[in-house]
Amino acid sequence: MPILQCDQRQEITILRNNGLTYQKIHEKTGYTRDQIRYFLRDSVDLTPQKKKTGRRLKLSKRELDELITWIRSSLER
């Protein structure tokens, strides 16, 4: 199920607040009823989600630059 963008979520919220059913929202927007139900059930606010930081790099910026330079020079040989 694709993740809805902020403007899409806002559109769903506005339609629901205007009294439309999940079926009517589906007909107007084309989003699946599951997408609509999932968003309206689990949403707290319409703020964009923060980017997940993920794992930190083991190499420093300098070490990474050196590695990239070495790889590029190896490919040229």
Who's near 33: CB < 8 A, 6+ residues apart? 22, 23, 26
Rounded mean pLDDT of the chain? 83
pLDDT in tens, 37-75: 888 887 655 556 667 677 777 888 899 999 999 999 988
Q: Residue 23: pLDDT band by 50, 70, 90 thresholds?
A: very high
Cα 60 → chain centroid:
28
Query: Does the pLDDT at position 14 exceed 80?
Result: yes
pTM of the predicted model as reported, rounded to 2 decimal places? 0.50
56, 62, 66, 69: CA torsion to nearest 10? 90
pLDDT at 27: 94
Helix then strand then coil, % of the chain, to nearest 5: 60, 0, 40
